[in-house]
Amino acid sequence: MNAYRMQVRTELMLSLRQGEQLLVSVGIPLLILVFFSLTGVLPIPEGFAKTVDFLAPGVLALAVMSSAMVSLGIGTGFERQYGVLKRLGATPLGRGRLVAAKISMVLVLELIQVVVLVTAALALGWRPSGSIIAALPAFVLGTAAFAGLGLLLAGTLSGTVNLAATNGLYLLLLLLGGMVVPVDRLPSGVRAIAEVLPAAALSETVLGAFSASATASAKAWAVLAAWAIAMPLVAARSFRWE
């Protein structure tokens, strides 16, 4: 357990020291929240009094994707390329506790994100009708889905290819995930694709937990749960340590 705790601390410190990781996990979600809440560029969806009421839950969903997929996936991919994973897996820490430490790092990072983003959203006038507790199942499923996806890419692609693929996927899911632009505003063909992706399912379930004006559909929960189960399983079977 001492080795596990030390590894969690090391993983967290490495993530917090990397400027590009902080930009993706905290900077971009915070920038989106503040910019679009203050400028009024986005149309206010029906049933919401202010833009921030729709944006805040979506940005929290984006934060989960940023930490669980991007921060975890890119960092792990380069560690694999440089042989760090192979060496750490051969130490008394072991592979199981190494993976557990990385997931724990993601959870701590998500907690930091929630504190920063919720504080900023409240300052911008957000008044949620739900709570973090109500959104907890969505956060857990979303973390499992995106962590599995991040580890799948990290464990099968080279470091540089993984970097490009993860960043490209991040931008794609940001556009299709209903985090900034509502999914129902997308063209019908694109909307059909977006609705079966984990980003849109996560943003819909988080929005439903925080807003009385929106209710998450059973389909969204089913899609999110399917990704949360499938991605870790596929990652575990496909992951290569070197």
Question: Over the stretch 62-84, which tens digit does the pLDDT of each residue have?
Answer: 999 999 999 899 989 888 888 88
Average pLDDT (120-136) is: 88
Q: What is the reported pLDDT for 133?
A: 85
Q: What is the reported pLDDT for 66?
A: 93
* Residue 175 to residues 123, 126, 147, 198, 199, Cα–Cα distance (Å): 25, 23, 19, 13, 9
pLDDT for residue 121 is more than 70: yes
> HSE (CB half, 13 Å, CA atoms) of 158?
2
Question: Over the stretch 142-170, which tens digit does the pLDDT of each residue have?
Answer: 999 999 999 999 999 988 999 999 999 99
Cβ atoms 167, 70 nearer than 8 A: yes
Cβ atoms 57, 209 nearer than 8 A: yes
State which H helix or E strand residue 89 sits in.
helix 84-89
Cβ atoms 162, 73 nearer than 8 A: yes
Give the pLDDT band (50/70/90) at residue 1: low
Q: What is the reported pLDDT for 166?
A: 93
The whole-model pTM stands at 0.91
Question: Over the stretch 194-230, which tens digit does the pLDDT of each residue have?
Answer: 999 999 999 999 998 988 777 888 999 999 999 999 9
pLDDT for residue 139 is more than 90: yes
Average pLDDT (179-184) is: 86
Question: Over the stretch 36-48, which tens digit does the pLDDT of each residue have?
Answer: 988 878 877 777 8
Per the listing, tokens 């430490």 go with 101
pLDDT for residue 131 is more than 90: no
State which H helix or E strand residue 233 sits in.
helix 218-238
What does the mean pLDDT of the chain come to?
89
pLDDT for residue 111 is more than 80: yes
